[in-house]
Amino acid sequence: MPLTFNEYIFIPFFLIVISVYWGLNRNTKYQNLWILCASYIFYGFGNYLLLFIIIGITISNYFSGLLIFKYIEQKKGKIILYVIVIFDLCFLGVFKYFNFFTDTLIKFISIFGFQFTFTSINLIFPIGISFFIFQVISYNVDIFHEKMQATKNFITFGVFVAFFPKLIAGPIERAKNFIPQITNRKIIDQNIISSGFQLTLLGLFKKVVVSDIIARYIADFYTDVGSYSSSDAFVITLLFTLQIYADFSGYSNMARGISKFFGINLVVNFNYPYLSRNVREFWRKWHISLSSWLTDYLYIPLGGSREKKKRKIYFNGFVTMTLGGLWHGAGLNFILWGVIHGFYLMITRIRQSYSAKKNEGSISNNMHSKGKNFISWLITFNLVNIAWIFFRAPSAGVALSIIVKIITFQGGIMYSKNYLILLAIFSTILFGFDLLQRKQNRHEIFTDLHWVIQGLIYSILIIMIIIFKFEVYSPFIYAGF
């Protein structure tokens, strides 16, 4: 297991790395070599065998990029692109999906009376493989489409693949945006340091104080659904909706904050998604680097919205989200989660198309619009919450049993005070953060406060992190993808 931001050992690691990094007197060549070595130490900390995997991916895609760029005007360039993309996807498939697909195939064949015995292959799982595989695929595709040139410096390319703040759970960076930052001389000042510290602290607070505490209280529910009332089941699903947001947006905050200390800006991965008024808006604000990747490298190549037939547009979106669900994990529950969101997006497109025709030339009342916006938000939030049930449940069967329990009132309506208190506290915190961020149009919400107030807030956050860090620890949810 690689190092993670929420472990105490990460603090001395980071302090050593950043001290040497800036001690190299802004010599970009040596800074990049140092950060690459540090990233490999970070990734191989728990198992050095992981290094063979990421280095192998780096070497193969480095040379494929050079060859695609060299033969870009020839058919050979397209062939090389196909070969490396297939290689990367097969690599991802073997480590992440081989056992799942083999087991599913055997179960399907058994329906027709054929019996096979299969022993699962216990392969080491490369943490973060889905993220860095998607990065190298976009790198090669962008070279082929002449959006960028191939990177000749192997160290530079290695940093693009393995830069440790984004290595475990993204964001999924594009080479054309990331590589210029590590090849140019870095700039850092007091404002950048302040921004980096604030983002890191907020992210750690979300993870340790919000996500990990919720995780501890709701874990038993998913292994013993029958023992809970329908009302508690509904509240617990809402708590997981908050947990996964605090967990993943917390990681993204920390990744961006830590990167700023190196003079590097990562893309924004979350932009208050739970304030969205429809599912299309939600996916423009949730895991932005993935949704934009799926749009550019899957949805658009399938035809995107350019298709004349609306049915084809709906189909393209549906396929994209289904494969997006599969990207998240090797399980029927993840596929169904993607299918559900694909269905949501299709219905949203149909509704928006109908509303656009209906509202042509009409003037809306402001109060009516506010009420309509609230209802749209409430519906969207609950639709997303329903889909998260499939994401969190250990299987599709358990997810369906949870939904049945909620809608049929199995177990009665009997609320546990603890779950309601947790929901009230953590929803206030997370929605409070989001509303402040939207109002200020930035993620560093404490920037304009007096330095004394800032210091007091930071002290409270740090104390709470230290207290709850001893209470419970859980890995980042998206580190498993």
Catalytic residue numbers read 328
Handedness of CA 161, 162, 165, 169 (dihedral sign): positive
Continuous H helices in 123-207: 129-144, 154-162, 164-167, 175-183, 190-205
Q: How many CA atoms lie within 13 A of 349 on its CB side?
A: 17
Task: Give helix then strand counts, H and E, for the chain.
Answer: 21, 0
Q: Of 237, 212, 19, 49, whose CA–CA distance to 125 is shortest?
A: 49
- φ, ψ of residue 81 to 5 degrees: the values are -60, -50
For 96, counting Cβ atoms within 10 Å of its Cβ (0-12 exposed, 13-18 middle, 19+ buried), the class is buried
Both tokens assigned to 425: 């506290």
CA of 145: how far to CAs of 69, 77, 152, 458, in Å?
Answer: 10, 11, 18, 46
Q: Please say whether the beta carbons of 409 and 230 come within 8 A.
A: yes
Q: How far apart are the first and last CA of the chain?
A: 13
Both tokens assigned to 312: 């084809």
For 24, counting Cβ atoms within 10 Å of its Cβ (0-12 exposed, 13-18 middle, 19+ buried), the class is middle
- Spell out a b/e string for 278-293, using b for 16 or more CB atoms within 10 Å of the CB, else e: bbbbbbebbbbbbbbb
Q: Please say whether the beta carbons of 229 and 221 come within 8 A.
A: no
Both tokens assigned to 248: 């993943």
Query: Can you tell me the distance from the alpha carbon of 203 to that of 6, in angstroms, rounded to the nearest whole number?
Result: 10
Q: Of 271, 278, 259, 237, whose CA–CA distance to 406 is shortest?
A: 237
- Spell out a b/e string for 222-249, using b for 16 or more CB atoms within 10 Å of the CB, else e: beebeebbbbbbbbbbbbbbbbbbbbbb
Q: Please say whether the beta carbons of 422 and 239 come within 8 A.
A: yes
